[in-house]
Structure 1
Amino acid sequence: MNHIRLSLNGLWPVVVLLATALLSGCSSVNRVNPGEAATTNAVPRFEPQPSRLNPSSYSVLGRTYHVLGSNDGYDAQGVASWYGPNFQSKPTSSGERYNMYAMTAAHKTLRIPSYVLVTNMENGKQVVVRVNDRGPFVSNRIIDLSYAAAKKIGMIGRGTAMVDVRSITPDSPIPTSQTIVSGAPTLPAEPVASAPAISAAASLPHAVWGQDVFIQVGAFGEMGHVISVQQRLAQAGITAVSVTPFGALNRVRVGPVASLADYDRLMDQLRTIGFDNAQMVVEQ
C-alpha cells in the first residue's frame, strides 16, 4: 500500500516522502514494540486550525482534494488503513513528528488538527484520535490510523477495516457502537474532560461483506436524475443497483458489495465514469 506524507512549510503541497509497504497494510510488525503503544483515547481539545495547514484545496498524484470549511457534522463510513514503522519520526503535514505509538490519524479533507471517533464496524471497537496529518492517498481509503489506534480497534493483522469516522469536539457526547450502527438518537453525556471513556457495547456491530456493505452513488430529488444515473451505471455494467426513498430524496446504491477487492474495483470504476463522491454505507 503506497502512502505519501505532505509537509507544509510554506508551500502546499510539498511531497517529502514516498514509501511502499505490504499490500496488507503497513504491517512491518517485526519493527514494532506493542508495549509502547498508547491504550487510552486522545483527549479532544479546542486548537487553532491555521490556514497554512488547511488550504481550500491541494493536489496529489493528479487528484485534487478540497479541505472542509468546517468539520462540524462530519460522519462518514469507509475503509481504514494504518501506517507505522516506515514513517516513524517523519514530519507530518502539521509539522509535528509522526509517533506511531500515539493516538493520531491522517485524513485527506478534515481540518487539522482535529479529533474524530473511529468505530470498527466489524467488531464494535472504538478509538478517539487526533487528526494531524494528510492521507491516505491510496484509492478508496478514508483514514490512516497510527499503529496504536489501529491496535486499539483490532485491525493490525489484516491492515484494513470497515469504519465509521465521526468528528468530535471537547463538548461532544461520545456515541456507542450500537448508536452508530442503528442510527438511534445519541443520549446526552457529560462534556469530555479527560480521555473519553467509550462504553463496551452489549451487542456489537458485525458488518459483513456481501450482506451489509453498499456504495451510495448519490441522493437525488428528481426521478429524472435517478433514471439517468441508473442508465449510466447499466452502461458501465453495474447492475446491482437499488433506489431507496429517504424523505424528499432517492438514494441510489450499488450492492451489497461482496468483498474488499470488489469494493476497490467498484469505487475505481465509479470514479472513472464520473461519480467522484460515491461512498461506502454500512447498514445493519
Structure 2
Amino acid sequence: MTRGHKVDGRGPVRGTIIAGLALALTASSLMLAGCSSDKDAFSGKGSPIYPGDGPLPKGGGRYQIGKPYTVAGQRFYPKADPDYDKTGVASWYGPKFNRRMTSNGEWFDMDYLSAAHTTLPLPSYAKVTNLENGREIVVRVNDRGPFVNSRIIDLSKKSAEALGFRKKGKAKVRVQYIGRAPLDDKGTHLAAMNTELHRGTSLNTMIAAADRRTSGGTPTMVAKAEPNKRPASSKPQGAPVTIASLSGQAAAGSGSAGTNAVVQPAGAGFYVQAAAFSDPDNADRTRAQLAPIGPVEVAPLSRGSHTLYRVRVGPLRDAGQADQALRQVVAAGHSDARVIVAAN
C-alpha cells in the first residue's frame, strides 16, 4: 500500500513521494491479493521507524482530516461523513509496515485493531463487517490508503485475522463510519467499542457508551468471531463468538487475549441478541416472532435521555445451542443478531 505520502502537507505517510506514485502504481506487484505480499512496491519505505524496543505506544498523534489530494489520477476528498457506509474490497498490511509512523503520527502495530482509509478522519472508529462470513469488528482508522484498484480499506494483520481473511488476502466488506476516536486511548476505549458492538449498541450511541464503560473502570468483554466451520458453498448466516476478558490497559486484538473456543464465565449464560428498539411495541412483536426458537426476553436499556428495548433469546445452556439459535434468529430476518455472554 502507499500510506506514507505527503498527501495533505501535514506530515509523513508511508511510502515514497507522490511524484513517483502514479508510475509505481502501474507495477504488476500491486495487483496481488493482499498487502502482505513480498512484491509490494511500497513496503517499508519512507516512514520513520519507532526508535525503541518493546511494545509500541498506543494513541498519540493528532486529529487530521486534510485537504483534497490526488493519487494516480484519482482525486480523494477527506471529510467527516457521519453517513459513510460503503461496500467494497478490503486488504491487509503487516510486517513490512510494522512499527512505522502512520499518517497522523501514531505508530502502526500490526497486532492491533487498526486500519487505513483514504478519506475518513484520523483517528476515527469504523465498523467493518466481512460480508463473506458475517464477522464484524470496530477498528481505529489512523492511516491513509489503500490506493490500489477498488479497495476501500486496508486493515492491520490482526484485524484481518479477526475478520477471517488473513490467509485469503482480500475480502468483500462493509465499512461504516462511527465517529472520532480519542487521541490518548491506550487500548481500553477500543476494547470497550468492541464490547458495545457485540452488545448490540447502535453506532450513533456506541462512543458515548464506551466512554461510560471506560470512565467507570468496568472490565471489558470483547467478542470476536470464531472461524466459520460451514462449507464454503453455503450462505453465511452469522458466526459464533469467542469471549476474552480485558481490563486495565489491555487492547482489543492485542494478541494477548482471546481463545479458540467459546468461554463461558462463571455465573453467566449465552444469549442471542436479536435487536434493540426505541418502540416497545416493536420489541413485543419481535419477542412473539422469536418465541418458537426459545425463551425470549425484552429488557429496557437507558441511553441518555431515551430508552431502548433489547430483545434477546436465552438463556441458552451452551455454545452449541447458542450458535443454533443464532442461525434461526438470522433466518428470521435479524441479520445483525449476535451471541453474547451475560449474567443470568
**What's the CA shift string for 1:81-108, capped at 9, x where partnerless?**
0011121222211122221111110000
> Counterpart of 2:35?
26
Unaligned runs of 5+ residues in structure 2 are 17-23, 39-57, 180-188, 215-219, 235-334, 336-344
Question: Of residues 60, 72, 80 in structure 1, which corresponds to 2:71?
Answer: 60
Residue aligning to 1:141: 151
Aligned-pair distance for 1:153? 0.7
Is structure 2 residue 192 aligned with structure 1 residue 191? Answer: no
Give yes or no for contact 2:86–2:175 (8 Å, CA) kept in 1: yes
Aligned length: 188
What is the distance in 1 between the residues matched to 2:67 and 2:151? 21
Inter-CA distance 99–188: structure 2 relative to 1 (3 Å threshold): closer
Q: 1:196 to 1:109 in 2, by over 3 A?
A: farther
Q: Following the alignment from structure 2 to structure 1, what is the Cα–Cα distance between the partners of residues 108 and 14?
A: 13
Change beyond 3 A, Cα 1:188–1:168: closer
One-letter code of the match for 1:151?
E
What root-mean-square deviation, in Å, do the aligned CA atoms of Structure 1 and Structure 2 show?
4.6
Deviations 1:56-83 (A, max 9, x none): 3111122110012x23222211111001
Q: Which residue number corresponds to residue 139 of structure 2?
A: 129
Secondary structure, counterpart of 1:4 in structure 2: coil
**Superposition map of 1:1-284 within 5 A:** 3-8=1-6, 11=9, 16-17=14-15, 23-27=32-36, 50=63, 53-68=64-79, 70-169=80-179, 191-192=209-210, 193=213, 197-198=222-223
For 2:230 and 2:197, the matched residues in 1 are separated by 13
Query: Does the C-alpha gap of structure 1 residues 204 and 139 become closer, same or farther in structure 2, counting only changes over 3 Å?
Result: same
Identity of aligned residues (%): 37
Residue identity opposite 2:137 in structure 1: V
Q: Deviations over 1:167-223 (max 9, x none)?
A: 22489895669x9xxxxx98988812256745879x9999989xxxxxxxxxxxxxx
Deviation at 1:145, TM superposition (A): 0.1
* Alpha-carbon distance change, 9 to 142 in structure 1, aligned in 2, over 3 angstroms: closer
Structure with the bigger RCO (C-alpha within 8 Å, sep 6+) is 1
Unaligned runs of 5+ residues in structure 1 are 30-42, 180-184, 210-283
**Scaled by the length of structure 2, what TM-score is found?**
0.44
- Whole-angstrom CA distance in 2 between matches of 1:111 and 1:145: 16
What whole-Å deviation, never above 9, does each CA across 1:202-249 have from its counterpart, x for those lacking one?
x9999989xxxxxxxxxxxxxxxxxxxxxxxxxxxxxxxxxxxxxxxx
**Alpha carbons 2:4, 2:144 under 8 Å: kept:** yes
> Secondary structure at the residue paired with 1:87?
coil
In 1, distance between residues paired with 2:230 and 2:198?
A: 10
- Map of 1:236 onto structure 2: none
1 CA distance for matches of 2:96 and 2:2? Answer: 11
Question: How much has 1:25 moved relative to structure 2?
Answer: 0.7
Change (3 A) 1:26 1:129: same
| C-alpha distance in 2 between matches for 1:134 and 1:197 | 27
SS in 1 for 2:105: coil
Q: Which moved more, 1:83-92 or 1:148-157?
A: 83-92
With over 3 angstroms needed to count, the CA separation of the structure-2 counterparts of 1:167 and 1:90, relative to structure 1, is same
- The answer to whether the 8 A contact 1:75-1:167 is kept is yes
Q: Distance in 2 between matches of 1:112 and 1:153?
A: 22
What corresponds to 2:295 in structure 1? Answer: none
Q: Is the 8 A contact 1:21 1:27 kept in 2?
A: no
Asked if structure 2 preserves the Cα contact closer than 8 Å seen for 1:114 and 1:131, the reply is yes
- Specify the code of the residue in structure 2 equivalent to 1:158: K
Change over 3 Å in CA distance of 1:160–1:200 after alignment to 2: closer
- How many angstroms apart in 1 are the aligned matches of 2:232 and 2:204? 23
Distance verdict in 2 for CA 1:187–1:166, change over 3 Å: closer
**Aligned CA distance change for structure 1 residues 200 and 131 (closer, same or farther; 3 Å):** closer
What corresponds to 1:233 in structure 2? none
- Asked whether the equivalents of residues 62 and 104 of structure 2 are also in contact (C-alpha less than 8 Å), the reply is no
Q: Aligned partners of 2:225, 2:90: CA distance in 1, in Å?
A: 21
- Taking the aligned partners of 1:208 and 1:187, their CA distance within structure 2 comes to 35
Check conservation: 1:124, 1:205, Cα contact below 8 A. no
1:138 shift after superposition? 0.3
Q: TM-score, normalised by structure 1?
A: 0.52
Does structure 1 retain, via aligned residues, the 8 Å contact 2:97–2:108? Answer: yes
